[in-house]
Structure 1
Amino acid sequence: MNIKRIPSNAPGRSDAVAFNGMTFLVAYDPDAAEEIQAQTRNCLRFLETKLSEVGSGKQALLQVTVFLSDMTMKPAMDEVWCDWIGPENNWPQRACVGADLGDDVSLIEITAIAAQIET
């Protein structure tokens, strides 16, 4: 089995795992910015970096789940998301859900599944 893992700074987990042409990722704002648009930009930058590390990119995203600590922030998050994701041919299937993210500073976390575009 050829599984590629990109370890997280948090013990016991990986930020990305690639196997059999598929990549499974989690992204968050490592800087814990104070507002949702900054956290979203940082989270998407982190996601793009991890995608690149496993030979993928945002154009290969298949499914994304956005977790928000407060769903009233969704319109502000969507502004940043839509600017980042680009043209319609990049759009993955996406869901957005409200969730307790475990602390008072994390506003957003993203999980994603992408195809690998490099071998």
Structure 2
Amino acid sequence: MTTEITRHHTGERMSQMVIHNGTIYLAGQVGNPGDSVADQTRTCIEKAEALLAEAGSDATRILQCTIWLADMADFAEMNAVWDAWVPKGHAPARACGEAKLATPDYRVELLITAAQG
């Protein structure tokens, strides 16, 4: 394993993905502003899957996920999409809380850490 840090899709403010010692750190993934919570959750998942695949990983290798909801009243709607997606037997450590997101049109944000390989 290398101690090198690699950054992917890096802009002025942040990188979409950072890899260090076989651990993948994703930036918070958001959906399309104005979409339903379910659709935003699906988009977050699709973006995360694409980044994980780029790093040689997948949903079975997710170690931890922090989910931010603009309103905890949307917890069940988000969970319906999440539960259908998480591979059986591979549920990561997870936390979910309510927070003001970057704009009022964002309803959900996923922050994922995963293992490579």
Using the aligned pairs only, state the percent identity.
32
Q: Report the Cα distance in structure 1 between the residues aligned to 2:8 and 2:30, rounded to whole angstroms.
A: 14
Instruction: Check the 8 A contact 2:59/2:87 in 1, yes or no.
Output: no
Q: Report the Cα distance in structure 2 between the residues aligned to 1:11 and 1:69, rounded to whole angstroms.
A: 26
Instruction: Check the 8 A contact 1:4/1:54 in 2, yes or no.
Output: no
Equivalent in the alignment of 2:54 = 53
Deviations 1:26-83 (A, max 9, x none): 2111x32521000000110001011111111110001100000011000000000000
Equivalent in the alignment of 1:65 = 66
Q: Report the Cα distance in structure 2 between the residues aligned to 1:39 and 1:77, rounded to whole angstroms.
A: 9
Structure 1 vs Structure 2 CA RMSD: 1.4
What aligned pairs does 1:69-108 form with structure 2 within 5 A after superposition? 69-87=70-88, 89-108=89-108
Equivalent in the alignment of 1:16 = 17
Structure 2: gaps (5+ residues): none
Q: Report the Cα distance in structure 2 between the residues aligned to 1:94 and 1:20, rounded to whole angstroms.
A: 22
Where does structure 1 differ by over 6 angstroms across 4 or more consecutive aligned residues?
A: none
Q: Report the Cα distance in structure 2 between the residues aligned to 1:16 and 1:28, rounded to whole angstroms.
A: 14
The AA in structure 2 aligned to 1:66 is I
Number of equivalences: 114
Instruction: Check the 8 A contact 1:22/1:116 in 2, yes or no.
Output: yes
Structure 1: gaps (5+ residues): none
TM-score relative to the length of structure 2? 0.90
**Secondary structure, aligned partner of 2:66:** strand
Equivalent in the alignment of 1:110 = 110
